[in-house]
Chain A
Amino acid sequence: MSQVLPAEGGLRRVIGDGGSLPDGEVQGLGPEQLLALYRDLVLLRTYDERSVIYQRQGRIGTYAIYWNHEAMQVGSAFALEERDWIFPSYRECAIGLLRGMPAATVLSWWRGHPAGWWNPEDYGVASICVPIATHVPHAVGFAWGSRLKGEDRLAIAYFGDGATSEGAFHEAATFAGVMKAPVILFCNNNQWAISTPLSAQTAAPTLADKAVGYGMPGLRVDGGDVLAVYEATREAVERARAGEGPTLIEAVTYRSAPHGTADDPSVYIDEERVEEERENECVGRFERYLMRLGVLTAAQAEETRNDALAVMREGIAEAEAELPADVSLVFEHAYADPPASLAADLEELRRILRDV
């Protein structure tokens, strides 16, 4: 039996504050990789900011904002190989963009259009899971299956702090430990499950502490520090590839935007704390780091933002150009031989839609 290590207490950090807190560096990341990380961060940030605007304009439906979660998504995904699979929650809806998925696909998903249904096999990105934590066992099963086949590909599941209270998380982590599944359980702890704070979610001192109970290491990292996230995930990837099984990563941040476009956090959140977090948001933090290093100029940053905006402009135009799906789709794929009552229901639905 391998020894179960206690989870980490402090948060791993690489990026300094430009003052008393010194900058670190990650071995193996040169200017080219650092700029690639920056482009990914800006792309996801732009996707998120534009999506809130599109939602306000009525061009997409309700949207789960991930502003200031980009470093957790980009840093961890950067540590993976293309053959590894990503199992996202709704908070990572656009993570497929890092794998070449068109923005139009994700925007179509939020428009409730079937053009937003991608084949997971095409990108190594599973479908967005909206129920909480129920996709975590899928990632574990996938990774377990990969190990049984002797394939060298692993899985990562993303979920929030609230998800760690779910039975599905507990069962998945239990399986991961027992089956020595090459999986990374990545918790983006933004300290709020809509209006429920972490203190009402668990009595555990940290979420990483839960790892001990499943017989896996628990790492804790500053979720706003893309390099620290990358380094911690790389360590988990190396463990998984070496056949040493799963790792739980707790990336800690503070939710600095509403849960979603239908949420009003002013009734429950500490606005001052939010303001503090927004000033230290993850994309700006990395941008300033790169400028201190002399790797990024203001002109390059501007160009990167403009490129991302162009991706979004094309994406929304493409999504809006899709013809509306026929409502018959709602009734398909459930029965090999549909009962007659379904045909009547479809007719009724068509009549209602004609009348509105």
Chain B
Amino acid sequence: MAERFLVEAVNDALHVEMERDSSVLVMGEDVGRLGGVFRATAGLQDRFGVDRCVDTPLAEAGILGTAVGLCMEGWRPVCEMQYDAFSYPALDQLINHVRQRSRPTGLMSWSRAG
């Protein structure tokens, strides 16, 4: 097996998946033109275009929240938020909504009635 840095493996996996499945898109902070601050998404925008490797506004809840909507429309978004500490604003979406999508009922947020 070829030896490589972890980030290179991530980059490779994204290339493979986006080639294999046209519903996979990458979205988030600096993923497009720059190719990610850690180079995880390098080359993706050139290869797959600006619609499938999308530089988004700097808004983590917006990134994950719109990704939920993209899923409902049949996309398989991969979200980039750069640093773990950046991801906390998105926890609301993760806890209230993303996890509910795993239920077979097609249900979101029912358990949060207050």
Residues of A whose CB lies within 8 Å of any CB of B are 62, 85, 90, 109, 114, 117-121, 126-131, 134-146, 148-149, 155, 167-168, 170-172, 174-175, 178-179, 333-334
Contact B66 A109 (CB under 8 A): no
The CA of A130 and the CA of B75, in the complex, are separated in Å by: 25
Residues in B83-114 with C-beta less than 8 Å from chain A? 89, 92-93, 96-97, 99-100, 102-110, 112-114
* Candidates A117, A136, A172, A178; contact of B107 at CB < 8 Å: A117
Contact B108 A135 (CB under 8 A): yes
| Chain B, Cβ-Cβ closest to A119 | B106
The CA of A334 and the CA of B112, in the complex, are separated in Å by: 16
In the A-B complex, the 5 residue pairs with the closest CB atoms: A141-B69, A137-B65, A171-B62, A141-B66, A145-B73
The CA of A114 and the CA of B110, in the complex, are separated in Å by: 10
20 additional A-B pairs beyond A120-B106, A138-B72, A142-B69, beta carbons within 8 Å, are A62-B113, A85-B72, A117-B107, A129-B108, A131-B92, A134-B61, A134-B65, A134-B96, A134-B97, A137-B68, A138-B68, A139-B69, A145-B73, A167-B61, A168-B61, A171-B57, A171-B65, A175-B59, A175-B62, A178-B57
* Candidates A120, A174, A334; contact of B62 at CB < 8 Å: A174
* Candidates A131, A137, A167; contact of B112 at CB < 8 Å: A131
In the assembled complex, the CB of B78 is this many whole angstroms from the nearest CB of chain A, namely: 14
Give the residue among A62, A130, A141, A146 with the most B Cβ atoms within 10 A. Answer: A141
Q: What 0/1 pattern do residues 50 to 87 of B give for CB contact below 8 A with A?
A: 01000011010110111111111111000000000000
Contact A141 B73 (CB under 8 A): yes
Contacts of A90 in B (CB 8 A): 113
Contacts of A178 in B (CB 8 A): 56-57
Contacts of B92 in A (CB 8 A): 131, 134, 168
A-B contact pairs, 29 of them (CB 8 A): A90-B113, A114-B105, A127-B107, A128-B110, A129-B108, A130-B109, A130-B114, A134-B97, A137-B61, A137-B66, A138-B65, A139-B69, A140-B69, A141-B65, A141-B72, A142-B73, A144-B69, A145-B73, A146-B73, A148-B25, A148-B75, A167-B89, A171-B59, A171-B62, A172-B62, A175-B56, A175-B62, A175-B66, A179-B66
Give the residue among A117, A119, A134, A171 with the most B Cβ atoms within 10 A. Answer: A171
The CA of A179 and the CA of B73, in the complex, are separated in Å by: 15
The CA of A136 and the CA of B93, in the complex, are separated in Å by: 11
* Candidates B51, B66, B109; contact of A172 at CB < 8 Å: B66
The CA of A83 and the CA of B11, in the complex, are separated in Å by: 36
Contact B73 A127 (CB under 8 A): no
In the assembled complex, the CB of A92 is this many whole angstroms from the nearest CB of chain B, namely: 14
| Chain A, Cβ-Cβ closest to B57 | A174
The CA of A174 and the CA of B59, in the complex, are separated in Å by: 9
| Chain A, Cβ-Cβ closest to B105 | A117
Give the residue among B64, B72, B74, B75 with the most A Cβ atoms within 10 A. Answer: B72
| Chain A, Cβ-Cβ closest to B69 | A141
The CA of A126 and the CA of B97, in the complex, are separated in Å by: 12
The CA of A138 and the CA of B100, in the complex, are separated in Å by: 13
Contacts of A334 in B (CB 8 A): 99, 102
The CA of A135 and the CA of B112, in the complex, are separated in Å by: 13
The CA of A141 and the CA of B103, in the complex, are separated in Å by: 20
Contacts of B100 in A (CB 8 A): 127
Contacts of A118 in B (CB 8 A): 106
| Chain A, Cβ-Cβ closest to B92 | A134
In the assembled complex, the CB of A49 is this many whole angstroms from the nearest CB of chain B, namely: 21
Contacts of B59 in A (CB 8 A): 170-171, 174-175
In the assembled complex, the CB of B113 is this many whole angstroms from the nearest CB of chain A, namely: 5
In the assembled complex, the CB of B49 is this many whole angstroms from the nearest CB of chain A, namely: 10
Given contacts A117-B106, A127-B109, A131-B109, contact A137 B96 (CB under 8 A): no
Contact A135 B103 (CB under 8 A): no
Given contacts A167-B61, A175-B56, A175-B57, contact A141 B70 (CB under 8 A): yes
Contacts of B113 in A (CB 8 A): 62, 90, 130
Contacts of A128 in B (CB 8 A): 109-110
Contact A144 B70 (CB under 8 A): yes
Contacts of B109 in A (CB 8 A): 127-131, 134-135
Contacts of A114 in B (CB 8 A): 105
Contacts of B71 in A (CB 8 A): 141
Contact B70 A145 (CB under 8 A): yes
